[in-house]
């Protein structure tokens, strides 16, 4: 009977050779077969010279695990490699699951070798942001339903954990990071310190310190980790510091009312009200009506940018028209899922308001591909044909807003309210100018600024007003 080999599951660290552990180097030296993603081999080419290297593409993680187990059971000493730490979003769990599914019951010697994770590496470059309790959340919804991710973000934010956000954005997932920002802003100040690290300990490394209200999705990708501070995190020069404990006096205190061992975190409304006071103070005198200002204030709260005082605009008694429409249960149409996910679900249910978004509709995708047009424009046209009378909310795509304007001009739809807040550089200002010229109630943001968070905040402000009116 062939003697089984040893299967090492190794974390290579963030990238730099100096950040690899001695155990990882020894495991590579002892192994005859190395299994991993092809991109990992470039940095360890001299360490695996003369060994059998089996490189598989991204997305083939289970096949890598199966192959590593198979070779080790056949007598080879095998190293399955991961970046960072193999036990944190790495190959270790897949290898053990593969063994478990095959019924081997650990009759193969498996050694999980620790590595320096992205969280450790990025925290070190930022100083000491993880000095107190922290949570790590991956924003990739490829393996985890997004509603679970949202729940974890909200719970961790409310509990005042420092938060490390991994896999924030990719070409196929371009909205989750902004949505996470919106969720965190519900219970954290826009001035909460945030560290953004890209390519830690690799060529092209960059380190940025910003705030929760100002952090931008444009600067993040799959090579980026964002660390969001808690209520006590502060900036110290070019470093972030989270104290080891909460202060003995002042700040947030542990109490019996919250948990026997945890921190007593202020309720979200307390933070929101404090933020509103700050916005009122910084803006000072303004020209908005008593009905318009709560909407503008929520817009500013969603993005941390008081410049919206200059850019926000209202047409044809938009607030009154919007509140009335929502009180009547008028449906909402959004251009992208991110706007829909940012809406207050409780009030929507209480007012019997349904939300429609056709961006992921298979027929829309097929039409867009066939006609060489954007999905956003095709999705808006389907919404107009399907839902007809609705409050139309555009927080991302100018082509969706243009499609809506064209339909209004053709007499196909007469919205009780349009929220016009697409964001970007191409056709954004043109689409808004077309919308501002419509003879319909409208709330918009001039210029290039806008976004799903601002659009959702606008609707949430109206929903709150509608709910308050309904309760009178």
pLDDT digits (tens, 9 = 90+) for 411-457: 999 999 999 999 888 899 999 999 999 999 999 999 999 998 899 99
Residue 128 shares a structural domain with residue 219: yes
* Antiparallel, parallel or unpaired: β 312-315 and 442-445: antiparallel
Phi-psi sector, 205: left (phi>0), alpha (psi -120 to 50), beta:
beta
Within-domain flag for 258: no
To the query of whether residue 316 is one of the catalytic residues in this protein, the response is no
| 16 has pLDDT over 80 | yes
pLDDT of residue 245: 75
109, pLDDT greater than 60: yes
Residues 54 and 192 in one domain: no
**With 0-12 CB in 10 A as exposed, 13-18 as middle and 19+ as buried, what is 252?**
middle
Q: Evaluate whether residue 256 is within a structural domain.
A: no
In degrees, rounded to 5, the angle at the alpha carbon of residue 462 between the alpha carbons of residues 346 and 404 is 105
Mean pLDDT computed over 47-61: 92
247 pLDDT band, cuts 50/70/90, is low
Residue 430 lies in a domain: yes
Tens digits of per-residue pLDDT, 142-200? Answer: 889 999 999 999 999 989 999 999 999 888 888 899 899 989 988 888 889 999 999 99
Taking CA 265 as the corner, what is the angle to CA 261 and CA 271, rounded to the nearest 5 degrees?
175
Quote the longest CA-to-CA distance of the chain: 85
Residues 333 and 397 in one domain: yes
pLDDT interval class at 256 (50, 70, 90): very low
Does pLDDT of 399 surpass 50?
A: yes
- CA Rg value for the chain: 26
Task: State whether 62 and 39 are in the same domain.
Answer: yes
pLDDT at 250 over 70: no
Pairing outcome for strands 239-241 and 127-128? parallel
Shared domain check, 277 and 232: no
Task: Choose one of 61, 87, 115: the last residue of a domain.
Answer: 115
User: Catalytic: which of 301, 316, 356, 409?
Assistant: 301
Of residues 418 and 102, more confidently modeled: 418
pLDDT at residue 275 tops 60: yes
Mean of the per-residue pLDDT values for the chain? 89
d(CA 172, CA 231): 33
Does residue 261 have a pLDDT over 50? Answer: no
Q: What mean pLDDT is predicted for residues 245-252? A: 53
Last residue of a domain, one of 87, 115, 143: 115
Half-sphere exposure of 376 (CA within 13 A, CB side): 19
The CATH number of residue 138's host domain is 3.30.950.10
| Structural domain of 409 | 268-471
pLDDT at 1: 45
CATH number at residue 389: 3.40.50.10230
**Cβ atoms < 10 Å from Cβ of 273:** 12
Q: Which residues pair with 134 in a beta bridge?
A: 162
| The total number of structural domains that make up the chain | 3
pLDDT level of residue 110 (50, 70, 90 thresholds): very high
Same domain, 67 and 171: no
Residue 2 confidence class, pLDDT cut points 50, 70, 90: low
Give pLDDT, residue 106: 63
- Percentage of residues of the chain with pLDDT beyond 70: 93
Q: Are residues 217 and 68 in the same domain?
A: no
Nearest to 195 by CA among 143, 127, 99: 127
Q: What is the pLDDT of residue 273?
A: 81
**Quick one: pLDDT at residue 257?**
31
pLDDT at 379: 95
Q: Binning pLDDT at 50, 70 and 90, where does residue 270 land?
A: low
Q: Average pLDDT, stretch 41-49?
A: 92
Do 149 and 106 fall within a single domain? Answer: no
The predicted-structure confidence for 351-384, as pLDDT tens digits, reads as follows 999 999 999 888 998 999 999 999 999 999 999 9
At residue 424, the pLDDT reads 86
Is the sign of the CA dihedral 334, 337, 341, 342 positive or negative? Answer: negative
Helix (H) / strand (E) containing 418 = strand 417-420
Task: Confirm whether 237 is domain-assigned.
Answer: yes
- Asked if residue 67 has pLDDT above 70, the reply is yes
Query: Is 23 domain-assigned?
Result: yes
Whether residue 103 lies inside any domain: the answer is yes
* Confidence (pLDDT) at 287: 92
Mean pLDDT over residues 32-46, rounded? 92
């Amino acid at each position: 009977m062939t003697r089984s080999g040893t299967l090492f599951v190794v974390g290579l660290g963030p990238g730099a050779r100096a950040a690899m552990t001695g155990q990882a180097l020894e495991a590579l030296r002892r192994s005859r077969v190395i299994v991993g993603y092809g991109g990992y081999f470039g940095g360890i080419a001299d360490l695996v010279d003369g060994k059998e290297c089996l490189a598989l593409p991204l997305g083939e993680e289970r096949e890598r695990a199966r192959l590593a187990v198979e070779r080790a059971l056949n007598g080879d000493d095998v190293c399955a490699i991961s970046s960072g730490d193999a036990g944190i979003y790495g190959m270790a769990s897949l290898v053990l699951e593969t063994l478990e599914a095959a019924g081997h019951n650990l009759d193969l010697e498996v050694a999980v070798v620790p590595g320096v994770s992205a969280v450790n590496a990025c925290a070190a470059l930022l100083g000491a942001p993880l000095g107190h309790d922290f949570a790590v959340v991956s924003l990739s919804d490829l393996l985890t339903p997004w509603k679970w991710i949202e729940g974890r973000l909200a719970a961790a934010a409310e509990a005042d954990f420092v938060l490390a956000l991994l896999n924030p954005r990719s070409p196929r997932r371009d909205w989750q990071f902004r949505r996470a920002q919106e969720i965190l802003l519900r219970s954290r100040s826009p001035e909460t310190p945030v560290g953004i690290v890209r390519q830690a300990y690799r060529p092209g490394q960059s380190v940025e310190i910003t705030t929760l209200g100002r952090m931008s999705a444009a600067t993040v990708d799959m090579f980026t980790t964002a660390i969001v501070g808690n209520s006590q995190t502060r900036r110290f020069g070019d470093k972030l510091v989270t104290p080891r404990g909460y202060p003995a006096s002042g700040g947030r205190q542990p109490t019996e009312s919250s948990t026997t061992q945890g921190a007593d975190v202020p309720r979200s409304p307390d933070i929101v009200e404090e933020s509103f006071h700050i916005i009122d103070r910084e803006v000072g005198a303004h020209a908005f009506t008593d009905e318009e200002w709560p909407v503008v204030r929520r817009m500013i709260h969603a993005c941390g940018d008081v410049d919206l005082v200059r850019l926000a605009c209202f047409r044809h008694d938009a607030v009154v028209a919007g509140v009335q429409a929502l009180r009547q249960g008028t449906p909402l149409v959004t251009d992208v899922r991110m706007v829909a996910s940012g809406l207050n679900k409780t009030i929507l249910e209480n007012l019997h308001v349904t939300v429609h978004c056709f961006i992921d509709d298979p027929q829309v995708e097929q039409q867009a591909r066939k006609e060489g047009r954007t999905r956003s424009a095709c999705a808006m046209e389907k919404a107009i044909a399907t839902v007809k009378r609705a409050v139309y909310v555009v927080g991302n795509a100018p082509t969706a807003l243009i499609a809506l304007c064209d339909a209004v001009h053709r007499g196909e739809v007469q919205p009780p309210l349009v929220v016009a807040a697409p964001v970007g550089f191409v056709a954004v200002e043109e689409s808004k100018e077309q919308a501002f010229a419509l003879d319909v109630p409208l709330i918009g943001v001039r210029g290039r600024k806008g976004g799903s968070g601002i659009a959702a905040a606008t609707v949430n402000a109206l929903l709150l007003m509608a709910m308050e009116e309904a309760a009178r």
